[in-house]
Structure 1
Amino acid sequence: MNARDGSCGAVSLAGLRAVLQEDVGAAAPAARLRRLIDLGCGELPLPALGRTAERWRALAEVAAHDLSLAKLYEGHTDALAILCELRAPDGIAGSTRTSVWGTWAAEAPGQRVAIRPGADGGLRLHGQKAWCSGAEQASHGLLTAWHSGADVPQLVAVEMGHPGMRVDGEAWQAVGMAASASATVSFDGVPAAAVGEPGDYLHRPGFWQGGAGVAACWHGGATALGRALHAAVLRAPAEQRTPFRLAALGRVDLCLAGTAALLRDAAQWIDTHPQADARWVALRVRQAAEACAQTVLEEVGRALGATPFCRDAAFARMAADLPVFIRQSHAARDDAALGECLAGLEEPPWTI
């Protein structure tokens, strides 16, 4: 990938599926992410350059396989996109091919990372950053930090493993998404490099383009559960294809097909309007994907009963992970934010 021209090698879905289906035993998601990167699957088409749908299909494919892996994969690929968009210094951008990146921008109350000048004139980080998925295994991280008195964050890049850095995963108690290895990272004089100017991370077009891409991950997880219901109906003898299960499959189809259509439409809109504010587009697909995931969880669980939750490890893990992952949504606050966006339009975009 070239940080200046935004070029990126294509990842074939067939090739990605083949790597995902490899027998890696009990390998943790971080190790599997490393393998995806080593085999050339770590770079996706960049958003808003005509191939956004391809990017999201790859994210959904990984998510349908393993949501914890998808969380790390999305963070890595998002970091590469951000470095390109904000034209990161050559010393940072040049390390992307072999590095494992995390993107950590959540701001937990009372855990703001401060930027202070170092004795050599460079930047030094102090404080704590919560919700750092994959931090223990990442080689590099992109995170938001704050200059003294600033009202907007500064995005910085760090090299993991510095002596002034401590990674603590003890606070993460969730059963769902446990393998994403979310941690709190403490910084004590850790050197960092600025990526863009203060506020650039939030105000760039790619912020909401990337936010919409997360919905593709949620959709991939919901699709995996929907496929389990479809397979159960398909394998059942005709006399066991009960109206109850068929109705559940029909309702699952409606929400998954509808969300997939919204994601395709959103990808096309972003490619057509690469510099536009995609906030309303992202909020729409995120809220649709969250609602669809909730519906699929309910319908599939009711239709299949306890058996797959108890005897199918992949299904049970997906059913536990998905409710945690979709909580990245801000629920009713995002509904209100979408309504606010629409209230500023002369005509709502609802025509066929």
Structure 2
Amino acid sequence: MVSAETELAEYGPLLNAIQSAVGDVPVLLALAREVGSKWPKPGDGQTGLLWELLASVASVDVAAGRVFEPHLDAQAILAQAGIHPAERAGVWGVFAAEGPGARLQAKSDGDDVLLSGAKPWCSLAPLLDRAVITAHAETGGRAAYAVDLRHPGVSCEEPAWVARGLREIPSGTVHFSQVPAVPLGGDGWYFSRPGFAWGGMGVAACWLGGAVAVAREYKVSLSAAAGTGREPDQIALAALGETDRILTSTVQYLARTAQLIDGGALSDDGGQPGGDGTPGAGTSAWSEALRARGTVAAAVERVLSLVSQNRGPAPLAFDEPYAKRMADLALYVRQHHAMRDDAQLGKLTLGGQHLW
């Protein structure tokens, strides 16, 4: 990511506005819409700055990062598909998850495409204008479409969202009945484009931003205790040192990966789901995404563990911002598929996609 704080200075007012809007999703969505056409897009030469911005938003409030990231990802997807900026207006989501008992089907109707069925895990759908959504095509594969969520054929379930984390961002099932949709890139394009991997790493930048905020709070708590005569013991210092080591190496890794993207080194699908599945030599967008997401997820979970063990139960019980951040981040990082993603990476590694 970026190295000079001056590169982020102009975004201070936005971050302050986000801080003031914590918990107010409509305001956060309006802020996301405002920056959607202005922020860099991955692969355009400023991927590191984009990830720094996403991490900075999530460091203010993890849930705000969860609001901003899908809209920014949708804008990038639409640009990659050649959709004119005038047609990218409004607040967007990206809905690509699948689930048992829910299937969204795309069918041709003359020159049009209509969507019918159900799509699970549609975060904030009732508050969004439009979405990039994947559906099963008539050819048997899956394809991406742009859809108007205000169409009368769209109905959103009220989810039974019992999570303590990301409480203001429930994810429910959306039902579609003969809803017109605009195809994006054709069958398989959504998953095979390198932008799919780049977007996944953008999510990891949000996770990392949340972990940095947790670490900063821990450092502040140790300094505050020292100011009252309670100097941190070796255990507390060791936890801070390990946290620093983990976060520094992870930030540097993402910065390097952003440079590779902007330099064109990660512009192929490399056996990504929906691609040709043939591993190549060296590395690829998808194998690097698996490494980056796995590395960040492990870093986040270790930082959460170190800080919560050393700070104890009091801030979880009585410090609302800290308790919210810990709960939000613990749920958000579960978007990583853990050993299943490592299994995918292992297959690519066995086929030669590694640098060692």
User: 1:302 is matched with which residue?
Assistant: 309
Q: Is the 8 A contact 1:17 1:61 kept in 2?
A: no
1:81 to 33, 55, 76: 76
Q: Which runs of 5+ in 2 are unaligned?
A: 1-5, 269-283
Q: Which residue in the other structure is 2:338 paired with? A: 331
Q: Is the contact between residue 36 and residue 42 of structure 1 (CA under 8 Å) also seen in structure 2?
A: no
Whether the 8 Å contact between 2:102 and 2:118 is mirrored in structure 1 is: yes
Contact 2:36/2:72 (<8 A) preserved: no
Q: Distance in 2 between matches of 1:106 and 1:293?
A: 23
- 2:133 is aligned to 143
Number of residue pairs the alignment of both structures matches: 332
1:12 Cα offset (Å): 6.0
Structure 1 runs not aligned, ≥5 long: 1-10
Provide the aligned C-alpha RMSD in A: 2.0
CA–CA distance in 1 between the matches of 2:248 and 2:67? 26
Partner of 2:249: 258
What is the CA distance between 1:26 and its match in structure 2? 6.3
Q: 2:152 aligned with 1:163, yes or no?
A: yes
Aligned partner letter, 1:214: V
Q: Which residue of 2 aligns with 1:44?
A: 39
Change (3 A) 1:332 1:248: same
**TM-fit CA distance, 1:156:** 0.6
Residue type of the partner of 2:146? Answer: A
The whole-number CA distance in structure 2 between the counterparts of 1:318 and 1:169 is 24
- Per-residue CA deviations over 1:249-291 (Å, capped at 9, x if unaligned) read 0111111112111111111111122523311111111011111
Partner of 2:3: none
In structure 2, relative to structure 1, the CA distance for the partners of 1:25 and 1:211 (3 Å cut) is closer
| Aligned CA distance change for structure 1 residues 253 and 210 (closer, same or farther; 3 Å) | same
Which one-letter code corresponds to 1:29 in the other structure? V
Alpha-carbon distance, 1:25 to partner: 5.7
| Residue in 1 that maps onto 2:141 | 152
Instruction: Quote the Cα distance in structure 1 between the aligned partners of 2:256 and 2:141.
Output: 32
In the other structure, the counterpart of 2:280 is none
Residue 311 (structure 1) aligned with residue 303 (structure 2): no
SS of 2:140's equivalent in the other structure is coil
- Structure 1 residues 134, 249: closer, same or farther in 2, change over 3 A? same
8 A contact 2:36–2:71 mirrored in 1 = no
**What displacement does 1:245 show?**
1.1
Letter in 2 for 1:349: L
Call closer, same or farther: CA 1:337–1:164 in 2, change over 3 Å.
same
1:98-247 mapped onto 2 (5 Å cutoff): 98-118=89-109, 121-148=111-138, 150-237=139-226, 239-247=230-238
Taking structure 1 as reference, are residues 338 and 200 closer, same or farther at Cα in structure 2, changes over 3 Å only?
Answer: same
User: 8 Å contact 2:21–2:27 — kept in the other structure?
Assistant: no
Question: SS of the residue aligned with 1:127?
Answer: strand
Give how far 1:146 is off.
1.5
Task: Report the counterpart of residue 15 of structure 2 in structure 1.
Answer: 20
Name the SS of the counterpart of 1:178 in structure 2.
Answer: coil
Residue 183 of structure 1 aligns to a residue whose secondary structure is strand
* Residue matched to 2:355: 349
The residue aligned with 1:94 is 86
2:224 and 2:36 map into 1 onto residues whose CA distance is 33
The alpha-carbon distance between structure 1 residues 316 and 42, as it changes in their structure 2 partners (threshold 3 A), is: farther
CA 1:42–1:180 in structure 2 vs 1: closer, same or farther (change >3 Å)?
Answer: farther
Per-residue CA deviation, residues 17-65 of structure 1 (Å, 9 max, x unaligned), is: 3223236466523421212433x36642111222111110011011111
Range that drifts further, 179-188 or 50-59: 179-188
Distance 2:12 2:289 in 1: 26
Q: Is the 8 A contact 1:30 1:69 kept in 2?
A: no
Tell me the alpha carbon deviations over residues 147-171 of structure 1, each in whole angstroms, 9 at most, x when there is no partner: 23x3321111111211111111323
How many percent of aligned residue pairs carry the same amino acid?
A: 35
The structure 1 segments of at least 4 consecutive aligned residues displaced by more than 6 Å after TM superposition are none
TM-score by length of 1: 0.88
Compared with structure 1, are the counterparts of its residues 69 and 169 closer, same or farther at alpha carbon in structure 2 (3 Å cutoff)? farther
Residue 234 of structure 1: CA displacement?
A: 2.2
Classify 1:72/1:42 alpha carbon distance in 2 versus 1 (closer, same or farther; 3 Å).
farther
Partner amino acid, structure 1, of 2:56: E
